[in-house]
Chains A and B, each alone.
Chain A
């Protein structure tokens, strides 16, 4: 498993020794928080506060504080939901699928990517909850629980219910997978801890890890099994999310292309988000030797591939709309391109189809600054993709009498900010208190002392 081609360039640069790895990663946890971290944390808490106000008003007054109307019943809520779920794809993909494919370059990024996945899924879960008219009942009525309402059961035909299952399964498996990976590293921190509190907390977190060969063996088997379990989930979650639309009768939603298209889009946006966060983290935590240009380049290639898949999907949709000769379907797609929401459509096309193509140029895909900017652009584009699918399909469907226009209110924005607040608060807490790079795994790919140092 640890065989590495001697021709391949080292994945970790800077001639790090095993001790260096421990030192570099653990010191972030052990040191006092630095000013950048404190500033960033304050900022995310402020965002969370503003968002919490919007959420409070939403719950106090009703869904009417949003800009939705009789024609457009979903807009920012489900757009944000799908967007966050999409972002939540990269982590598990990196850890699970790349683990199965023995892609070792994943080792220095999988920890943060998985954390991001879990936080993104938490953010995503906010929207199916908050978008409900009656959250106080919906949060448990949507679960198939035995109840005293007679024979009242959930509707297993509903894609929304499938979402409940798909997302909760994905969330739990991702969480377990992430946590199992953390155990040896927690043990390292525990072993280095100098104060009692740290020792106790990390001791508890590390579940009594003893580092025995047998333990390592079990650890690796569990990782492999969980990777095997998580792999189909990566594909299934967004497939099922896409069923929300694909199984409906609304032109622009009712499309069989959605499952692969959504999965590709999810990987696309997930990788972009991982890049955004990793570029910041490696800079702030000075982890340039662990997360190298090589990593970034590889991820950029994945972005180009998935971006192209998404682009082809857009074009295929147009082809199908023409080929089917269904007037409403044809209109829905023309309306995307030239209707009142054409600004959203062209934002999506520019961000998603054109911008990743720049990565064909080696100079751009190996440039930190360019990567950072494009990774953000891609995520803006992917947000617009969901907005375009949801809002432009709904706002002009079958009966022209009901055609309407949706405009966001400050509460739409506020609740979106709320999830950003959650996401970054959790991410910064993670970056401070958890080892951001999987030390145990990275140690397996650094050059051994017997090899010549670079």
Chain B
């Protein structure tokens, strides 16, 4: 569905992403992991077309995305960045309605209204619908932004560190919602994430970056191993499995960092 080929990005003389080629399996949750400065967010921003690659191409359904107008691309790929601080006074409902912009250009019809209702319902945000987003908690705000992205009804969703600054409950809610988007609606979700345990337990596919290059890329069952993670993070991992999933324990290194 969405693939990148030989994608590179340099800021001045500093290369942050060099010749990355990867495909993102459709209908799956793919987690992009790796240490800080690995180029994860850069990769996501390039795929979202929020910045221009220095070289290389991105393809959507086999077509280079350069040829797709911004307004059309917004019907195929929705992006959620870490919610920025903006000084607008909006209710949750109004924010979610912005998700219909690529279709409605601000004039909401019955179908748009239905999609907005569904998105709000999907994340159980009904009680907050008329609350102002600058008056709700960070986790609730992130849910509201996610609802807007869902209302965009795109086959692909890109999320840049959606769990940042969230408590455990909100983090689980967000990840659970992403899982359901894949399983129930067949959407493709690509997210940049730092919490390896959420990545391991909720994603189908893992793409690991380090130093602007791919370290490994594959189904999470094959990639969440002590050896690979040790190589990626330079940390001593111990993977504990239970019937509820697995826990990657790296908190107390045995041999020092």
Is the A/B pair a real complex?
no
Q: Which A residues fall within an 8 A CB radius of B?
A: none
